[in-house]
Chain A
Amino acid sequence: MLTRALLADDFFRLAHSDVTGRPLLHPIALSTGLAGALLGELMVERFLDVRDGVVLLMADEDVQPQESLARSVLAVLRREDHRLPTWLEYLGQQSVGKVAARMEAAGHVRPVRSRRLLRDVVTYVPTNQLEASRPMSVLATRLYARYELEPWYGVLAGFMRATGLHTRVMSGMPTESHEFMAGLIVRSSSPGIQELFGHIESLVGAAVLMHRT
């Protein structure tokens, strides 16, 4: 059964090992990227737009997204008014847990609790490795071959680059692939989504500067 994947779910898959489920990104990059992807889901569905750092509500109050996590995110966005970086930070506080819970409910991952370095850690192990590896393998092979990709993957590539994950995915690839990726991201993403990428990159970079990754 082929249901359309959710943007944040695909970014989650991209940012975790398809075998062990361990994160490939440091915590701030992961949580900010997922927060951005949740906003991205709403932007793709035309519930939101972003302009000059401000989040603009595009749909009527009574129009709701179909998916429940998207509904709850939109609800809090409708209740309060903040700039985009604030929303990214706020949503980032719980983005990992909430997206993981959504994926667990859909049967894509299962949580495995363990103890590492004196701390309790939850790893979300994929239930279907083929599906878990799809975003990474599609992006990696098509970008390397510079083969055209649907806008969905272009936007995903944008999140990948904004969080710094591209240095891992694209390691060893020639300059032409990097240039192709840059062009693909621009072609696939609306100005609002591109601005979203910029803010994610800013926040992740700021965390590096503060040495609080």
Chain B
Amino acid sequence: MISASARPTRSEVSTALARGRLGVPSVVFFVIAAAAPLTVVAGGATTGYWVTGSLGIPISYLAVAAILTLFSVGYVAMSRHIVNAGAFYTYISNGLGRVFGVGSAVVALFAYLAMGVGLAGGLGAVASSFLRTRFGIATPWWACALIGLALVAILGVLRVDINGKVLAFLLVSEVVIAVVYDVVMLRHPAGGTVSLATLAPHYLWSAGIGAALVTAITGYIGFEATVVYSEETRDPRKTIARATYIAVGITGCLYGASAWAMSVATGPENIVAAAATNQTELIFNLVSPHVWPTLVDVGHVLFVTSLFAAVLAFHNTVTRYAFALGRERVLPAALGHTNPASGVPRTASIIQTVIAVVVVIAYAISGLDPLVYLFFWISVAGGLGVLILMVLTSVAVIGYFMLHPSGENVWRRSIAPTVASIALLGVLVLTVAQFHVLLGVEPDSAWRWIFPGAYLAAFAIGATWAAILRARRPQVYAAIGLGAHAATGPRAAAASSGYVKA
């Protein structure tokens, strides 16, 4: 019998664990840092206007923010009930079955790889241009890209964490600079009046809106990572939900406002031409007559660091995905191995770097413009992949909650996910139908079908592999979706039955 004096009034364990927990601001910060806002504002929005020729860019950012907020309702609700919540394929495995799950995992690997490589191309192009115009140093874009990839690889392998405070400082600076530029642009509108033209909802029905929408979606990729931190938060139920909505909200307002402000500064009828002429320099050229040169320089530097941070973030995402799949034995187990001293999944990290380097070199040899054909084409192709994943995840949420209501209310279980699924599916259909606009090619070009087709093939490969696993290695099949927790899943239980009592 435990004496009264030995029983604590509060759990010392819970108190001790609560101290290390993350709050809403930390999670919001981690996620927005990975989304690299200045990259989207200075790079994504400008190339979006230029390549798609659509004026619906600002309204697309706002519309996508609204859709993602709806999507997040079911997404976050389901994250409370499954492990390894950080990957879309987990949701799809749990809601639509493991065959769909593995198919999605392969799609995800392609999509995030594409994002990382595309951004590396952007980093190379922007850094090289900055060095040339500001310092007169001539370096080819691919050299800058390869240096960036090498730095990412070194940071990844050494597990040198870019100090959280440094990241925080850079992120806050990015947001501040973007807001300052927006204010400057709005105070110097072309023609003297601030036009709300590009915020008009009718653009949502215009030609080429699919291209604008998927460009917008690409800017938000990374918001889905909030759920990775659910085990580390103080109040998993509320913290993750709030952090997700805040992250989408802040980035949505920033992207929409910046894209709109640019069109105000050039005049709506000129924005596409201005974007084509100035490319990623557009925002800097628009503000530089009105601000100190130092502020423009700072903006340029932050643009480069933002791109670098984005490349690093996607490198880590692909590495994590491959690690989780390696742990599950869906992919070769070697991918699930880490360097014990650093905790870095080194095999996955190295493979990802090698692929990126090969792609950069291929583009360098081809002589194609890296801003259009690597940065824009490939990163938006990545956006298409993530859009496919989100459609599947949204439907999976509905499927999961039909089987396991889990105490969630009907808004979270079914109404919000259903509306989000319909909206996301609509965006997907528009995107695929207008993919040629996105790429800036003729409607009869083969390229408009190659990217969507590649994802279909990737999905088919994954789904086939899952079916093979189900037949040949059922224990591995049963562990799909558990990620790192595969160690406590059915495979582990089956293996433990060989104990010889001493």
Contact = CB atoms under 8 A, between A and B. Distances in A.
A210 B87 CA distance: 11
Chain A, interface SS category:
helix
Interface string A168-202: 10000000000000110011111100110111011
Interface in A74-100: 76, 78-80, 82, 86-87, 89-90, 93
Contacts of A202: 484-488
Given A90-B13, A93-B16, A199 B340 contact: no
Interface stretch (A18-26, A34-42, A107-115, A135-143): A18-26
B488 A189 contact: no
A23 to B, nearest CB: 7
A191 B496 contact: yes
* Most A Cβ at <10 Å: residue of B6, B323, B343: B343
Contact of A61 (B2, B338, B487, B488): B2
B13 A53 contact: no
Interface stretch (A63-71, A123-131, A159-167): A159-167
A211 interface: yes
Nearest to B160: A117
A96 B228 CA distance: 26
A46 B4 CA distance: 26
Contact of A187 (B486, B488, B498): B498
Interface string B216-247: 00000000000011011000000000000000
Contact of B343 (A26, A87, A89, A186): A26
A195 B496 contact: yes
A208 interface: yes
Most chain-B Cβ atoms within 10 A of its Cβ — which of A78, A191, A208? A208
B488 A164 contact: no
Contact of B340 (A86, A93, A164): A164
B166 interface: no
Given A24-B341, A78-B2, A198 B492 contact: yes
B340 A24 contact: yes
B340 A213 contact: no
Given A201-B487, A202-B484, A189 B499 contact: yes
Contacts of B17: 86, 89-90, 93
Contact of B500 (A82, A187, A198, A205): A187
A28 interface: yes
Interface residues of B, number: 48
Q: Which of A78, A87, A89, A163 is packed against the most chain B CB atoms within 10 Å? A: A89
B316 interface: yes
B228 to A, nearest CB: 6
A207 interface: yes
Contacts of B487: 162, 197-199, 201-202, 205
A116 interface: no
Nearest to B339: A167
A48 B340 CA distance: 29
B340 A80 contact: no
Nearest to A77: B13
Contacts of B484: 201-202, 204-206, 208-209
A210 B485 CA distance: 13
Contacts of A87: 13
A209 B337 contact: no
Given A79-B2, A80-B11, A194-B499, A209 B343 contact: no
Given A190-B501, A204-B484, 17 more contacts: A26-B342, A29-B343, A78-B2, A87-B13, A90-B13, A93-B17, A186-B496, A188-B500, A194-B496, A202-B487, A205-B336, A208-B338, A208-B345, A209-B86, A209-B483, A211-B320, A213-B344
Interface of A: 23-26, 28-29, 53, 61, 76, 78-80, 82, 86-87, 89-90, 93, 151, 162-165, 167-168, 182-183, 186-191, 194-195, 197-199, 201-202, 204-213
| 10 closest A-B pairs by CB | A205-B484, A213-B343, A201-B487, A186-B498, A26-B343, A194-B496, A198-B488, A198-B487, A198-B492, A187-B500
